[in-house]
Amino acid sequence: MKKKPIDELVKKIDSLGDVTLIGIGPMSSNVIESCFELAKLYRFPLMFIASRNQIDKKELGGGYVNGWDQFDFANRIKEVAENNNFYDYYICRDHGGPWQRDEERNAHFEVNHAMDIAKKSFASDIEAGFDLIMVDPTKDPFTMGKVVDLDFVLEKTIDLIEFCEQERKKHNIERLAYEVGTEETNGGLTQVEVYNVFLEKLKKGLTKRGLPMPLFVVGQTGTLVKSTRQAGRFNYKNTKTLTDMAKKHGVYLKEHNADYLDNASLVLHIPARVTAANVAPQFGYVETKSYLSLCKVEDKLFENNIISTKSNLYTILLENAIKTNRWKKWVSEKDASKSYDEIINNKKLAREILEIAGHYTLGKDVVENEVKKLFANLSLCNIDGKRFVKDHIKASIMEYIDCFNLKNVLDRI
């Protein structure tokens, strides 16, 4: 059975009035496999939201998720879908646009160069069959810490949607949905008044060029992820205002940074009429923590002479997590400036960095080799390590499935 186009799916979901979709970051192969197993069992559609740091063209640096580009990613998802005989999935670009790779922003690429790179990335997204493209030009490195000019954001957003539409037509793709806006506080869209102005100007600019309105517009609901916790607070009143405002303009509100929210806040997404919410680092964190738990089990087995050798997974994970440097934006400036040796000798900081950045390393061969050793050792004692990891990921995803009322939603639309 052919899946509905994503815009039709969203409209059907919204008409129900009691469901919030979840966009899931493809943090690893285990996360992807876990998602399909749950979606098949509980009959809900999957939206995978891949950032450019996670998935991108190899000539632009590839992605930290197994080094995949857009085609590798799409093919892997198709493979897992076929293994599960479940095809209601949607591949989405999360935060596409200029400067959205860390190295591009850190290098302060000038705007035309950054835009050219963004277009190359989008072209591959579209050719690889992505269903939804998020256009976000708010990571301007020249205005970091300040509010990005709204007119600049609008101009670049419209330019990039126009480019994507040209690519869509070039590849004879019938439909392509878009997402715009940002959850970043420097994106200028944190105030309700500004959000409304943005929508009005966006509609006018797109209409003038004969371009479609986006499906989703990101709004600031009060959420804010810091390190491995939710540092914000879901603001029901503000969120309901934004969802109502979005509907008046014919679009739907998408929330970002829904990681680590408490169940009460998640359930409130239903009456607030949040159409969809993104969750990503939480699932990578849960997977990392599950590996660390299994390392403790392995240590005990070794200490009691039940196994004769053990893996070096903990050390390899830690060393590689530190070397990614991706944890630096989540810790204090003082800790971010510490040397490798200083971190290794600070057990508390080392553990924090490992939990933050461990998932960035999971696709590396050196890490995968140690995971295989760990699982082999555990299997000698009738412990299924992979099942343990995936079950922990599933348990984390299940909170969202339950709170967002996603069970059997495919049978209702």
pLDDT score at 185: 44
322 and 400 belong to one structural domain = no
Kindly report the backbone phi and psi dihedral angles of residue 24, in degrees, each rounded to the nearest multiple of 5, phi listed first. Answer: -110, 125
**Which residues lie below 8 Å from residue 261, measured CB to CB, with a gap of 6+?**
223, 230, 234
Pair 184, 163 in one domain: yes
Q: What is the pLDDT of residue 305?
A: 97
pLDDT for the residue 143: 76
Give me the domain span that covers residue 257: 6-282+395-411
Q: Are 114 and 147 in contact (CB under 8 A)?
A: no
Residue 187 pLDDT: 46
Is residue 1 one of the residues assigned to a domain?
no
What pLDDT does residue 202 have? 96
Domain identity same for 230 and 156: yes
Give the whole-angstrom CA distance, residue 251 versus residue 148.
Answer: 23
Burial class (CB in 10 A: 0-12, 13-18, 19+), 305: exposed
40, part of any domain: yes
Domain at 151, CATH number: 3.20.20.70
Based on the fold, state whether residues 326 and 259 are members of the same structural domain. no
> How confident is the model at residue 329, as a pLDDT?
86
User: In angstroms, what CA-CA distances link 367 with 238, 312, 371?
Assistant: 43, 9, 6
| Same domain for 120 and 87 | yes
| Judgement on whether residues 42 and 149 belong to the same structural domain of the protein | yes
For position 96, what pLDDT does the model report? Answer: 97
| Number of compact structural domains in the chain | 2
> What is the mean pLDDT, run by run of 10 residues, along the chain of 413 residues?
91 97 97 98 98 96 95 98 98 97 93 97 98 94 76 95 98 97 57 86 97 96 92 94 94 96 98 98 97 98 97 97 92 93 96 96 95 98 98 98 98 96
Does some domain include residue 125? Answer: yes
Contact present, 263 and 399 (Cβ < 8 Å): yes
Q: Are residues 199 and 305 in the same domain?
A: no
